[in-house]
Amino acid sequence: MSIFVPMQDQAVSVSELTYVIKGLLEEGIGDVLVTGEISNFKQHSSGHRYFTLKDADAQIGAVMWRTRSLPFLPVDGMRVIVRGRLSVYPPQGKYQIDVSAMRPEGVGDLHRAFEQLREALRARGLFDADRKAQLPRRPRSVGIATSQTGAALQDMLSTINRRYPLLDVVFRPTLVQGDGAAEDIARAIAELDAAKLDVIIIGRGGGSLEDLWSFNTEVVAMAIVNARTPIISAVGHETDVTISDFVADARAETPTAAAVLVTPITIDDLIEALDDRMLGMTTVVRTRIDDMLETAASFVDGRAARRVTERIHLRQQRIDDLVTRTSRGIRHQTHLLQQRIEHTVQYLTSLHPLAPLRRGYAVIERNGAVLGPNDCVHAGDTLVVQRYTESSTVRVSAVGQPTILPPHNDYDGNESKDTIA
Amino acid sequence: MATKAKTQSLEDKLKRLEEVASLLDRGEASIDEQLSMYEEGMRLAQECRTYLEEAELKVRRLSGETDEVDED
């Protein structure tokens, strides 16, 4: 029945048979997921690990190459679950599991592995407070490494959006559980670190210890240690504690709490500050304007004017007092002065050249010029006789000797000369 | 990037607003200068306020694994 029993009596070589077996096992069985107890665990100097998986009745060899990450330190007797491929090793005629991933199976084993790694990392000083970075006081950018489909992402984004939507958020979709999750988290940390953001959040929602296991791995711990950007670990619920929490620069109890940590100043804070500013500016200007209005109002309602008037009245009163006190003497002198002025005016009036006309004398003109004492008059001259009451033009018919003489020859006046009787 | 430029200009506006406010507080300017500073300050504050009120979260995305396993 078997294809491996030759039709003829012709033997096959060991190699031929082995390769048939190899093909049969590797293709017929292939991928396996096996639970068992570790025994004979050996890590070769090359970094490859060799051990045996066994249970009460059977055992199978296993190899885990150096390139496969091992999230904990296996010890003999630990129950584990391994994922891998069944393979055959022809030189020894052995079949074995080529392990791609391994994790402790039981909760007790997980705790043991957790404690192991925690103590190892603590001994290396990775939890020391002095190597933890301060979270930025006002982050402008944040990198988030978490599952694209998890509630954690939505919690964080909605919290950030509510508190400070100006935050520059860079999301790196990340495997947070299952095979390869630890490595992907480590890569995500490195990538976000290279993006030079202000702070990084790594995390996921709650789950079993197994679900959170990726965050309990050395590869993640070392990625956190090597990152220059401050990192917040936000894994699971309040009570969940992971290695990444110890190594990270800050631990948030939940992803939402991490989102609060990266938004210490909220939009509402800023708006409130702006409102304060606006109020402050308004107060400054209003006070200034009120002062000016007050000044202006004091003019408008006459307060300032009254003050000025009062001052003027006061001075006027003082002047009046002075005037009253000196007025008697002044009035007397004024009277004397007035008398003198009147006399002078009378005197001056009497000296007016035309004053004699009132007394009946006349002024004689010839050709528009007044005749003086020495002007001669000839018969036939036309003269204008100016009297007080009228002016008349006359023709001289004859010129003779004067019939009346002035009292003195040297008397300088024209009233008694050049007159026509 | 547009978001960045906008954020930048918000920072600029806030900075200028602080300048204007402290100049106003000093009270050395003439009333005309004060009024124009006040106008500028209030305009800046109002613009910032509107910007803040209307701000919405934008998320950039770094490529990661595509065959991601859902968590529960």
ipTM of the complex as predicted = 0.78
Tokens of A395: 């023709």
Highest-scoring range by mean pLDDT, A40-44, A279-283, B60-64? A40-44
- Residue pair A384/A403 in contact by the 8 Å Cβ criterion: no
Q: Average pLDDT for residues A63-84, to the nearest whole number?
A: 86
Alpha helices in A126-217 (DSSP H): 151-163, 181-194
CA A171/CA A149 separation, integer angstroms: 12
pLDDT of residue A253: 92
pTM of the model: 0.59
pLDDT confidence band for A69 (50 / 70 / 90): confident
> DSSP secondary structure string, A77-126?
T-EEEEEEEEEEEGGGTEEEEEEEEEEE-SHHHHHHHHHHHHHHHHHTTT
Spatial contact of A242 and A185, defined as CB atoms under 8 Å apart: no
Q: Torsions phi, psi of A61, nearest 5? A: -75, 155
Question: What's the rounded Cα separation, in Å, for the pair A278 and B41?
Answer: 8
Out of A106-110, A137-141, A177-181, A407-411, which region has the weakest mean confidence (pLDDT)?
A407-411
- How far from chain centre, in Å, is Cα B70? 38
- Round to whole Å and give the CA distance between A347 and A56: 167
Q: Can you tell me the distance from the alpha carbon of A160 to that of A337, in angstroms, rounded to the nearest whole number?
A: 104
What is residue A405's predicted lDDT score, i.e. its pLDDT? 66
| Helical ranges in A197-355 per DSSP H | 218-226, 243-247, 255-261, 267-300, 303-350
The per-residue pLDDT for range A349-395, each reduced to its tens digit, is 666 767 777 778 888 889 888 888 788 888 899 999 988 888 899 99
Angstrom distance (rounded) from CA A105 to CA A81: 5
User: Mean pLDDT throughout A84-105?
Assistant: 90
- What is d(CA B45, CA B22) in angstroms, rounded to the nearest whole number? 14
Q: Are A261 and A232 in contact (CB under 8 A)?
A: yes
A420 Cβ neighbours under 8 A, 6+ residues apart: A362, A364, A383, A385, A394
Cα torsion at A297, A303, A304, A306 (round to 10°)? 150
Q: Residue B45: closest CA among chain A residues belongs to which residue?
A: A274
Quickly count helices (H) and strands (E) in chain B: 2, 1
Q: Distance between alpha carbon A387 and the CA centroid of its chain, in Å?
A: 105
Alpha carbon distance A296, A184 (integer Å): 75
In this structure, what DSSP letter does residue A229 have? S
Candidates A209, A211, A262, A284: best to mutate against B (most CBs of B within 10 A) is A284
Confidence of residue A334 (pLDDT cuts 50, 70, 90): low
Given an 8 Å threshold on Cβ–Cβ distance, is A157 in contact with B48?
no
Residue A49: pLDDT over 90: yes
Find the range with the poorest average confidence among A20-34, A90-104, A328-342, B8-22: A328-342
Please give the C-alpha separations between residue B35 and each of A118, A290, B42, in angstroms, as whole numbers.
65, 13, 10
> Would you place residue A227 in the very low, low, confident or very high pLDDT band (cuts 50, 70, 90)?
very high
| Residue the block writes with tokens 């909220």 | A266
Specify the DSSP element, H or E, that contains A47.
none
Residue A398: closest CA among A383, A415, A413, A377: A377
What pLDDT, on the 0 to 100 scale, is given for residue B71?
46
Find the CB nearest A271 among B20, B24, B53: B53
- Residue range A181-203, pLDDT digits in tens: 999 999 999 999 999 999 999 99
In angstroms, what separates the C-alpha of A211 from chain B's closest C-alpha?
8
What residue type is A314 in one-letter code?
L
Q: List the single range of A203-217, A267-281, A301-315 with lowest mean pLDDT.
A: A301-315
pLDDT at site A331: 66
Residues of B in contact with A207 (CB under 8 A): 71-72
Instruction: Map tokens 């006061």 to a residue.
Output: A314
Q: Is A120 helix (H, G, I), strand (E, B) or coil?
A: helix
The answer, for B26 touching chain A at a CB cutoff of 8 Å, is no
Q: Are strands A94-104 and A59-64 parallel, antiparallel or unpaired?
A: parallel
Mean pLDDT of all residues belonging to chain A:
85
Q: What is the mean pLDDT of residues A9-14?
A: 84
Asked if residues A116 and A104 have their Cβ atoms less than 8 Å apart, the reply is no
> Which residues in chain A have Cβ-Cβ distances shorter than 8 Å to B10?
166
Q: How many CB pairs under 8 A join A and B?
A: 126
